[in-house]
Amino acid sequence: MAKKVYVVDLDEEERAFLLQFIKSGKDSARKINRARILLLADEGKTDKETCKALHTSVPTVQRTRQRFVEGNLEYALNEQPRPGGQRKLAGKGEATLIALAKSEPPEGRKNWTLQLLADRLVELKVVDDVSHETVRRELKKTTSSLG
């Protein structure tokens, strides 16, 4: 099966926008690189020529061309949101963690440990499960200390 070739045909307004966009240099390097890919594709450069000129990969060039043809200029330049996991400790969980970390440690202990905090959060049914590493990251974000 032959590879589908996406032909980029920019109008004057799009070309002028991309040229100004590149000159401004105020956006991410990825967006500027995509703009350059579109301009070279509009000039009739092949994927391999574009890759060599911009020091990028063939899939990046192909994907950018495809996104322009199937969508529009905005779609081709911008990244789509990437999926990510839900935060284990958000809102109430984070507040409970901070309150626990600042409270008196359990009897027989001088200080809270990350694992003790994680275990207590599960015990209190704030979360179903949580690792000590998640607890560490959350405390670091809030600049709380265990001491």
- Give me the residue spans of the domains in the chain: 12-77, 92-141
Confidence of residue 81 (pLDDT cuts 50, 70, 90): confident
Confidence of residue 49 (pLDDT cuts 50, 70, 90): very high
Contact 135, 118 (CB under 8 A): yes
Cα separation, 70 vs 56, whole angstroms: 22
Mean pLDDT check: name the lowest of 28-42, 55-69, 81-95, 120-134.
Answer: 81-95
Q: What is the pLDDT of residue 89?
A: 84
- Please tell me whether residue 63 adopts helix, strand or coil conformation: helix
Q: What is the pLDDT of residue 2?
A: 62
Contact 14, 69 (CB under 8 A): no
Cα separation, 109 vs 105, whole angstroms: 6
Closest CA to 22 of 36, 11, 8: 36
The arithmetic mean of pLDDT across residues 96-104, rounded, is 91
The arithmetic mean of pLDDT across residues 122-136, rounded, is 91
pTM score: 0.59
